[in-house]
Amino acid sequence: MFKEFRKFILRGNVVDLAVGIVVGAAFNGVIQALVKDIITPLLPTGHGKDFQNSTFSFGQNHVFHYGDFVNTLVSFIIVAAAVFFFVVQPINKLTELSARRKDTEEPTTKKCPFCFSEINKQATRCKFCTSKLEAAKA
């Protein structure tokens, strides 16, 4: 049982996933600090107080703490943008290039003009309907 567990843990995709989670958590910490310490102090609060503790009152007993929510929202947008531009876009580009290469390859099959089955393009007789075909063009 221990050997199976070790084999599972040392699989490439499990290790890659663990590394991705650790790096993602570290990246999230950096972004949180960037937003909290650099971006939100630049936002005007009106009273010169700490933006993270900014509130507004609604009625007599309702106080809404919006500063921390705005910090979290800005952090989310930055992380989402980073993932989109540094992960999703490159993968989409690679997928597009891979598909383009496949489309430029010469086809190896053709359709039989009699039964419309797919056959090798060099075939001189259809393997489905046994019709004689034109010789393959060089």
Beta bridge partners, 120, equal 109
For residue 99 the two structure tokens come to 């598909």
| Range 2-105 classified under CATH 1.10.1200.120 | yes
Residue 5 CA to residue 2 CA, distance in Å, equals: 5
Name the β-bridge partners of 58. Answer: 62
Confidence (pLDDT) at 53: 76
Phi and psi, residue 63, nearest 5°:
-115, 125
Sequential pLDDT tens for the chain (138 residues): 888 887 777 776 777 788 889 988 898 888 888 887 888 777 765 555 667 777 888 888 888 888 888 888 888 888 888 888 888 898 889 888 887 776 666 778 889 999 999 998 888 899 889 988 876 554
Q: How many helices (H) and strands (E) does the chain have?
A: 4, 4
| Residue spans per domain, the chain | 2-105, 107-138
pLDDT of residue 106: 76
Cβ atoms of 81 and 100 closer than 8 Å: no
**Cβ contact 109:120 at 8 Å:** yes
Q: Which residue do the tokens 């990246």 mark?
A: 27
Residues 112 and 75: their CA atoms lie apart, in Å, by 59
pLDDT on residue 129: 92
The DSSP call for residue 116 is: -
pTM to 2 decimal places:
0.54
